[in-house]
Amino acid sequence: MTNLVRMDWPDHGTPDLPPAFGLPEAEARLADTRAAMAAAGQAALVVYADREHAANLHWLTGFDPHFEEAVLVVTPDDALLLAGNECLPWTAVSPLVAAGRIRIGHCAALSLPSQPRGTPRLADWLAEIVPKGATVGAAGWKWFGPDEVDDPATALDLPAFVADPLRAIAGRVENATALFMHPGHGLRCRVDADEIARLEFANHMAAAALKRMVFAFREGMTDFAAVEAARLGGLPLGCHLTFATGGRAAQGLSGPSGERLTPGQPISFNICHWGANICRAGWVARGPADLPRPAEGYLDDFVFPYVAAMSDWCALMRPGVTGGEVWAGMRTRLPFRTFGVTLNPGHLIGLDEWISSPIAEGSDIPLASGMAMQMDVIPSHPAYGSTRMEDGYVLADEALRRDLAHRHPNVARRIQARASFMRDAIGMHVPETLLPLADTCGIVAPFLLDAAQVVVL
């Protein structure tokens, strides 16, 4: 029987610092990228990045632009990273740059407005390395379908000042973003044991901060004070921290704005680092008595069925299950008329909060070992508000689990403890192929002024 039980949120310890991104790993990624280019018939690949859309470039090089933009051009035997005024010294953070595998160029056009120029133009840099008249791939951060544009293959999401000179030099410029981000075959869409350790560290940092924040909630405190209590650890944010309640409750992407925690108000919030997004939603309440009359059925009709559905979601997280099966299962368990789930019930997460998703209506893309999956199933109801159990997981077959246990035994031990908690304390169906990355996995606390009340199945 589904019910509320008072319990401590689990604490499985603080991870050690994960392994740094080093030269052998970077060289392997560069080789894989060149192989994918060759398979696509592309003589060069141009990777564009700005501060919000730097994940492809960072995955490949270990460098991400701050303030500015950056452009990387890769050919079969050369690689050139173009950076602006302030980022040029920062390029040395890349193992490939430090080892001379990628050369750098100063392109002031990638800098902020009004800063000194005087360097070679972007068009001149591109003409130096891009083969004239060749087929070239261009990767931004999204690709397009035939329902969006007339010619998806050549529709670019790069700024015109990058796309125009590139098209003038090359014979054909193709959208190559899917090379990195496609859920079925994208280079960034599978992780190994070292990457699991990094993801676990990020999930721990975000989950620990969210837990500190939740257990500091007090009636009348401002949302600013609540977020201060989180004591963020300093990892880069994957998206803007959200905190929506009171007059901002319906604006889920709102940050703190001065609202006060008032009983009887819905609330949602998240903390997102690179590789982790921990999110919860519920009510500013101590129990059912604090709910407004239209929300009286919140537990029985909304929260309890949602937690049961998330147990089913976990049970589906096995290599070989298609994304369409997951979509259909969630639509059955969470009827739209009550739960209003509009986005994909689960997606891939990496340095960017949303890479892409194999889970879509009719998708025949199979779930695969190495997919870092976000349990991102967002219900919405005009009277009940929302509820949430959003954390990070990795799908892992026996070989990947064995490699993780060998390379990072403490990571594997904590993951096993989290899975046991979800099964034994919460009652969820967690297959051995699903690796929970955060101590918050399995936790739904509907009444956030008394967060020790947790839903169990």
Check residue 4 and give its pLDDT: 97
Task: Check the CA dihedral 409-412-418-420 and report its sign.
Answer: negative
Are 135 and 41 contacting, i.e. CB atoms less than 8 angstroms apart? yes
- Strand 347-348 with 372-374, pairing: antiparallel
Rounded average pLDDT over 275-292: 98
Quick count: other Cβ atoms within 10 Å of Cβ 88?
21
Q: Which residues, in sequence order, are CB contacts of 413 under 8 Å at separation 6+? A: none
- Strand 103-106 with 78-83, pairing: parallel
CATH topology of domain 41-175: Creatine Amidinohydrolase; Chain A, domain 1 (3.40.350)
Going by pLDDT thresholds of 50, 70 and 90, the confidence category of residue 252 is confident
Going by pLDDT thresholds of 50, 70 and 90, the confidence category of residue 1 is confident
Q: What is the pLDDT of residues 261-278, one digit of tens each?
A: 999 999 999 999 999 999
Q: How many residues does the chain have?
A: 457
Going by pLDDT thresholds of 50, 70 and 90, the confidence category of residue 442 is very high
Going by pLDDT thresholds of 50, 70 and 90, the confidence category of residue 407 is very high
Q: Which residues, in sequence order, are CB contacts of 376 under 8 Å at separation 6+? A: 277, 279, 343, 344, 345, 346, 347, 390
Q: What is the DSSP string of 339-356?
A: H---S-SSEE-SSSS---
Q: Which tokens hold the place of 177? A: 């973003």
- Cα-based distances in Å from 204 to 16, 89, 198, 230, 354: 11, 31, 10, 13, 19
The DSSP element (H or E) to which 75 belongs, if any, is strand 70-75
Rounded average pLDDT over 187-193: 98
- Check if 3-16+188-456 and 41-175 are the same fold: no
* Residue ranges per structural domain of the chain: 3-16+188-456, 41-175
Q: What is the pLDDT of residues 148-160, one digit of tens each?
A: 999 999 999 999 9
Q: What is the pLDDT of residues 85-96, one digit of tens each?
A: 999 999 999 999
Q: What is the pLDDT of residues 17-40, one digit of tens each?
A: 999 999 999 999 999 999 999 999
The DSSP element (H or E) to which 137 belongs, if any, is strand 135-139
Phi/psi for 355 (5° steps) reads: -80, -60
Q: Which residues, in sequence order, are CB contacts of 148 under 8 Å at separation 6+? A: 155
Closest CA to 139 of 110, 174, 176: 176
Are 318 and 368 contacting, i.e. CB atoms less than 8 angstroms apart? no
CATH class of the region 3-16+188-456:
alpha beta
Check residue 89 and give its pLDDT: 97
Task: Quote the pTM value.
Answer: 0.96
| Residue linked to tokens 């994304």 | 323
Check residue 340 and give its pLDDT: 97
C-alpha to C-alpha distance for 298 and 446, rounded to whole angstroms? 9
**What residue type is assigned to position 113 of the chain?**
P
Check residue 251 and give its pLDDT: 86
Taking the chain, what is the end-to-end CA distance rounded to the nearest angstrom?
6
C-alpha to C-alpha distance for 152 and 448, rounded to whole angstroms? 46
The DSSP element (H or E) to which 192 belongs, if any, is none
| Residue linked to tokens 């501060």 | 51
Task: Report percent pLDDT > 90 for the chain.
Answer: 98
- Which stretches does DSSP call E strand in 190-262? 242-245
Quick count: other Cβ atoms within 10 Å of Cβ 14?
10
Closest CA to 445 of 372, 387, 404, 393: 387
Question: Taking 90 as the threshold, does the pLDDT of residue 450 lie above it?
Answer: yes
Q: DSSP class of residue 18?
A: P
Q: How many helices (H) and strands (E) does the chain have?
A: 13, 15
Q: At what angle do helices 398-407 and 409-421 cross, to 10 degrees?
A: 120
Q: Give the distance, in angstroms, between the CA of residue 383 and the centroid of all CA atoms in the same chain.
A: 29
Name the average pLDDT for the chain: 97
Q: What is the DSSP string of 352-388?
A: SS----S-STT--PBP-TT-EEE------BTTTB---
